[in-house]
Chains A and B, each alone.
Chain A
Amino acid sequence: MTPLIFTLKIKPQFSLDVSELTPDKLAKKNKTQIKSLKLNYGKKKVPVTDLFTITGNDSENVQILRSCDKLVCVGQGISHGTIEVKGNVGDLVGQHMKGGHITVNGNAGSWVGNGMSGGRIDITGNVEHHVGAGKPGDAFGMTEGFINIKGSAGDRVGDRMRRGIITIHGKAGDFCGSRMHAGTILVLDKAGRNVGTGMRRGTIILSKQPKHIVATFKSNGNLKMQFLRLLFTQFVAMGKEFTKFKNFDPEVHRFSGDLARNGKGEILILQTLNLKK
């Protein structure tokens, strides 16, 4: 069995919805059935063979090659299997994902992990806004799962997220963790303004002191927290990029809030070690 590979053979001018190319939807389809699929391209439905060359046969392991930022809805709703993308992708990676693993070797657009309830997304590059956040009208952002971004992220990371973990190895934009219901966000470089604004519960861990923290957060002083030892030890098992957390037992400055929302959330600023050195 070799991975089922879709190699993009055009330069898309419009958004290309690849939500059909998931292990869930390709399961039990033979090559003829796969070739007869049609994808939303702009306002039209276009045969997949006009857009991609298809090789391989293992629908549990899907690869999309020569991708570009016009490809949207990568891995929408997947519950098992893996999707690996080589190149950049557009918005809504892993939207409504329930399980499985999506890897994007490139940059991604906004709304990564929107409505996600399980599984793991790895992005090696940067992402735009609203990672793990809920769309307007959604009750919550992501409710479970793990999003790992090796680059930087835009604004509103984890807005209204309900549960799950987001790690950002680079910078995060403004309003990181705004209106969080619960969950954990880790930012290993600078975070923008208004971190955690309106959060009710949840944990935001920053490796650098942000320029300002909103007035409705209360300082709890410097602490060593057992929970972080547990969290970082668990991270070590999640991939090579987390081995730096082995035996990591940091002191943090804890802020609790957002008190304007009777919040029981926390912002933890690592004090003892700057991992980016």
Chain B
Amino acid sequence: MKINGVTIDDTFAEAFPMKATRIIITAMTLKWAYRAANALRGFASSVIACGCEADIERELKPSETPDGRPGISLMIFAMSMKDLEKQIPMRVGQSIMTAPTSACYSGLDSEVQIPMGKHLRYFGDGYQISKKINGRRFWRIPVMHGEFICEDTTGVTNAIGGGNFLVLGKTSRQVLTACEAAVEEIKKVPGVITAFPGGIVGSGSKVGSKYDFLSASTNEAYCPTLKGQVKSDLGDDIGSVMEIVIDGIDEKSISEATRVGVLAACSFGSRKGIYRISAGNYGGNLGPHHFHLRKILK
């Protein structure tokens, strides 16, 4: 299968179950909502070492937020409820509560809830106030800028992490340009995030290592500098590989994100140095969710 001269490998991305929540961050201005959101999603690129994967889903108009102020919708994925329960209060407390004029609300209506303001309220040292409005409980925590408003809990849903595709091309500049275009298209799909910096992974990993203390290490089969030295998956024409990892609410959203992302990358074509699209998997043994590239792009 070829799109615009770009070969689509007959392979699949292998993804695994995760737990996800969506939170809404508002502030007096969109600039401060972004600053809070960027702080929260910092060091949240991969569960391998960060505890969770998080990214901005989209900007929200004032009419879409609970307090009528500009906001950001942010999604956070973790391997288990326990991990999410640990990460949410920690990240909201240190990144959102500390940002002036910010507030934090649940963006996911679900029967399963995990604590958010429920834990953070203790920062109020006894001066915190609870308010229940329209069946939702909010905490008013007195802080130096006024009050930090935080919803008591946030909803959790089953989700999928690790959807991915690889863009293989001639030079790093060409591959990066194609990947940037892919990420821009993926951003338009609701319910998905690309948690790595700028949505692009420059150092994709394989499971395990020759070193016992490492759970993941460089994916040598896709390292251009190791061609000839290891069993490489790269042809002579490939000088750079980058990966786009997609976490999403369900298979449908990840499939759609993969589709629009691959098409955007392929739009540059082989004439602009994009030669192949592939995907990362572990032989189908690790995750139950398989995203077959050719099937998605049919």
**Which chain A residues have a beta carbon within 8 Å of chain B's beta carbons?**
144, 163-165, 182, 184, 201, 203, 223-227, 229-234, 236-238, 246-247, 264
For residue A237, which residues in chain B have a CB less than 8 angstroms away from its CB? 134
Complex Cα spacing A165 to B140, Å: 16
Give residues in B with beta carbon < 8 Å to A.
62, 65-69, 101, 103, 127, 129-134, 138, 140, 146-149
A227 → chain B closest CB, angstroms: 5
Contacts of B133 in A (CB 8 A): 165, 184, 230-231, 234
- B69, A229: Cβ atoms closer than 8 Å: yes
From A164, A165, A233, A236, residue with most partner B Cβ within 10 Å: A233
Cα separation A25 to B148 with both chains bound (whole Å) = 44
A234 touching B66 in the complex, CB below 8 Å, given contacts A226-B101, A227-B131, A227-B147: yes
Q: Check A231–B68 contact: CB distance below 8 A.
A: no
A-B contact pairs, 18 of them (CB 8 A): A163-B132, A182-B130, A224-B146, A226-B67, A226-B103, A226-B146, A226-B148, A227-B140, A229-B67, A229-B68, A230-B66, A230-B138, A233-B66, A233-B68, A234-B66, A234-B134, A238-B134, A264-B129
Residues in A neighbouring B147, C-beta threshold 8 A = 225-227
On chain A, the residues within 8 Å of B67 by CB distance are 226, 229-230, 233
Q: With the chains together, A184 CA to B68 CA distance in Å?
A: 20
Chain A residues lying within 8 Å of B148, measured Cβ to Cβ, are 226
Query: Whole-angstrom distance between the alpha carbons of A264 and B130 in the complex?
Result: 11
What residues of chain A lie closer than 8 Å to B130, measured between beta carbons? 182
Q: Which 9 A-B pairs have the closest CB atoms?
A: A233-B68, A230-B67, A234-B133, A229-B67, A227-B140, A233-B67, A226-B147, A226-B149, A234-B134
- Number of A-B residue pairs having CB atoms within 8 Å of each other in the complex: 53
List residues of chain B with CB within 8 A of the CB of A201. Answer: 129
Q: How far is the CB of A240 from chain B (nearest CB, A)?
A: 16
B-side interface mostly: strand
Give the residue name and chain of the A residue nearest to B134 (CB): A234
Give every chain B residue within 8 A of A144 (Cβ-Cβ).
132
Minimum Cβ distance to chain B for residue A147 (Å): 14
On chain B, the residues within 8 Å of A238 by CB distance are 134
CB-defined contacts of A247 to chain B, threshold 8 Å = 62, 68
Task: Using A246-B68, A247-B68 as known contacts, say yes or no to A230 and B149 having CB atoms under 8 A apart.
Answer: yes
Q: How far is the CA of A226 from the CA of B66 in the complex (A)?
A: 11
A201-B129, A237-B134 in contact; A227/B68 too (CB < 8 A)?
A: no
| Chain B min CB distance to A174 (Å) | 25
Q: Given A201-B129, A227-B149, A236-B68, output 17 extra A-B contacts at Cβ < 8 Å.
A: A165-B133, A182-B130, A203-B131, A224-B146, A225-B146, A226-B101, A226-B149, A229-B68, A230-B66, A230-B149, A231-B131, A233-B65, A233-B66, A234-B134, A247-B62, A247-B68, A264-B129
Most chain A CB atoms below 10 A, which of B68, B140, B147: B68
Q: A223's closest neighbor in chain B, by CB?
A: B146
A230 to chain B, nearest CB (A): 4
Closest to B65 in A: A233
Q: Beyond A226-B147, A233-B67, is A264–B131 a contact (Cβ under 8 Å)?
A: no
Chain A proximity of B159: nearest CB distance (Å): 28
In the complex, A229 Cα to B131 Cα: how many Å? 13
Chain B residues, CB < 8 A from A223: 146
A227: chain B residues within 8 A (beta carbon): 131, 138, 140, 147, 149
**Residues of chain A within 8 A of B127, CB atoms compared:** 264
Considering residues A201, A227, A232, A238, which has the most beta carbons from chain B within 10 angstroms of its beta carbon? A227
Task: Please indicate which of the listed interface residues B66, B131, B147, B148 has the most CB atoms of chain A within 10 Å of its own CB.
Answer: B131
Report chain A residues within 8 Å CB of B101.
226
Cα distance A230–B117 when bound, in Å? 15
A203 to nearest B CB, angstroms?
7
Q: How far is the CA of A233 from the CA of B71 in the complex (A)?
A: 14
In the assembled complex, the Cα of A139 lies from the Cα of B55 at a distance in Å of 47
Contacts of B149 in A (CB 8 A): 226-227, 230
Q: Inside 8 A of A236's CB, which chain B residues have their CB? A: 68
- The answer for the CA separation of A103 and B34 in the assembled complex, in Å, is 43
